[in-house]
Homo-oligomer: A and B are copies of this chain.
Amino acid sequence: MNTITDVIEPGLLQRFTEIVGGANALRPEEAGERYLSEPRDLFHGRTALVLRPGSVEEVARIVALAAESRTPIVPQGGNTGLVGGQQPRSTREILVNLSRLDKIREIDRAGRTMTVDAGAVLQTIHEAAEAEGMFFPLSLGSKGSCQIGGNLSSNAGGTGALAYGTARDLCLGIEAVLPDGSMLNGLRRLKKDNRGYDLRHLLIGAEGTLGIITGAVLKLFPAPAGREVAYAGLRSAEDMLALLAIAERHAGMHLTAFEFLPRIGMEMTLKHTDGVRDPMADPHDWYVLLEVTSHRSVEEASETMEAVLTKAFEAGIVEDAAIAQSRRQADDFWRMREEMSWAQKPEGGSIKHDVSVPVASIPQFLAEAGEAVLSAVPGARPVPFGHLGDGNIHYNVSQPIGADKPEFLARYDEVNDLVHAVVRRFDGSFSAEHGIGVLKADELARTKAGPEYEAMRAIKRALDPYEIMNPGKVIKI
């Protein structure tokens, strides 16, 4: 099967195995789907060996041996990434899965920080914060399995970014193993620290190409006393923007979510998600899920939501609205939004995008992207949804009803190119929150060609001269 060129010689494999112990070193045939497939089935991993280190020291020893032997390694967390960044691509590569590093190391109540292992699952972090009367705002659909190390490496966005920022904004300190196996101990709890270049922000979002994040200090926030969730039904994208302006004016920093989906998305969700029902009696062209919180009281959150919706009704912006009447209903409202992506699955092939544009450009972007897609693929069903308040749109396109799925998916790149061309007209991003990985590495090289890409390459070469850290992902050297 493998020739001499693309395998790691047995003696070296043995040395890697000894670092973690035999029970935590899996051959590819033992590793299986859990490690070598990924959520969208776009990539199937190939590897020499899967290592599951049990300590930061073991991670450092693995990387040191990789540096010495010039063996490429691919870090992996919860394996929920959507751009293939966490998948090894050849039997020359070793997969390093961080799942065993899953501890909450420490919670500092007074300073409101939590120090965690990279392999801690996001949901576990949420629960640990809640147990102390605080909360950690980063939240995404995969929270039950994604790990904080992956969240940071990909600078995850999600639904909490509107008020609290993306993963990078929620991290005070980073511990990482650098490509030469040395340890960067940056587990600081400081709100202000100007000692030299910000390596934390460089490692965050680098998708494991500049080192392996092994631990982090996270910012916690006081748990809100009140939370209100509502759906509003609207007739146009312009009205969604107008509602955003009203909500920002009346809820200010307490507007904690402003998500949107189109009617077709609501229909798919209702059809394919168990136990949810249409929040409003009549259909609407667009739906906004709003969340407002109050640190002070249930009543304040409720008053704020009422004020926002009243103003919007008075201005004729909102056709109808439904406020969740219980925690359970609020969770259902959220579930309808979070299941959106999965609800497209039973509808056949879906060509996906993760784009951002300036918020004010959203209506025009939606119009122009729709036109571009439909003129190329008549009958295609755009389902744009996502984080309107962040300008972040998952511009997913479901296949025409009755179309052939493989035939539709064969046009993936073509449709991507069309949508991304529209994104460029608004000076937007073709990777808002999912990262680059392998899926978008060519596009990054092409569209950032010039000083910006050359600076990234220079940094990659400087820190990882032998290109052993997640090679071919993000940056091509």
- Identify which of A197, A210, A461, A462 gathers the most chain B CB atoms within 10 Å of its CB: A197
Contacts of A222 in B (CB 8 A): 248-249, 252
B-binding segment of A12-20, A24-32, A282-290, A423-431:
A423-431
B-binding segment of A33-41, A187-195, A336-344, A410-418:
A187-195
Q: How far is the CB of A157 from chain B (nearest CB, A)?
A: 5
Contacts of A427 in B (CB 8 A): 188-189
Q: Are A451 and B204 in contact (CB under 8 A)?
A: no
Q: Are A202 and B192 in contact (CB under 8 A)?
A: no
Q: Are A183 and B451 in contact (CB under 8 A)?
A: yes
Judge if A399 is at the interface, Cβ distance under 8 Å.
no
A200 — nearest CB in chain B belongs to which residue? B201
Given A182-B450, A451-B183, A459-B459, are A194 and B295 neighbors across the interface (CB < 8 Å)?
Answer: no
- Interface size class, chain A: 35 or more
The distance in angstroms between the C-alpha atoms of A108 and B391, with both chains bound, is: 14
Judge if A110 is at the interface, Cβ distance under 8 Å.
yes
Q: How far is the CB of A440 from chain B (nearest CB, A)?
A: 8
* Interface 0/1 of A188-219, CB less than 8 Å to B: 11111111111101101110001000000000
Q: Are A455 and B188 in contact (CB under 8 A)?
A: no
The distance in angstroms between the C-alpha atoms of A250 and B434, with both chains bound, is: 36
Q: Are B444 and A194 in contact (CB under 8 A)?
A: no
* Interface 0/1 of A431-463, CB less than 8 Å to B: 111111000000010011011111110111111
B-binding segment of A140-148, A345-353, A355-363, A369-377:
A355-363
The distance in angstroms between the C-alpha atoms of A177 and B130, with both chains bound, is: 46
Judge if A186 is at the interface, Cβ distance under 8 Å.
yes
The distance in angstroms between the C-alpha atoms of A430 and B192, with both chains bound, is: 10
Contacts of A447 in B (CB 8 A): 195
Q: Are A456 and B199 in contact (CB under 8 A)?
A: yes
Contacts of A252 in B (CB 8 A): 222, 253-254, 294-296
Contacts of A459 in B (CB 8 A): 197, 202, 459, 462-463
Judge if A138 is at the interface, Cβ distance under 8 Å.
no
Contacts of A67 in B (CB 8 A): none
Contacts of A195 in B (CB 8 A): 429-431, 436, 444, 447-448
- Which residues of A approach B to under 8 Å, CB–CB? 108, 110-111, 113, 154-155, 157, 161, 163, 165-166, 168-169, 178, 180, 182-186, 188-199, 201-202, 204-206, 210, 222, 241, 245, 248-254, 294-296, 356-360, 387, 389-392, 427-436, 444, 447-448, 450-456, 458-463, 474-475
**Can you report 5 A-B residue pairs in the complex whose CB atoms are below 8 A from each other?**
A110-B359, A168-B201, A178-B451, A184-B452, A253-B254
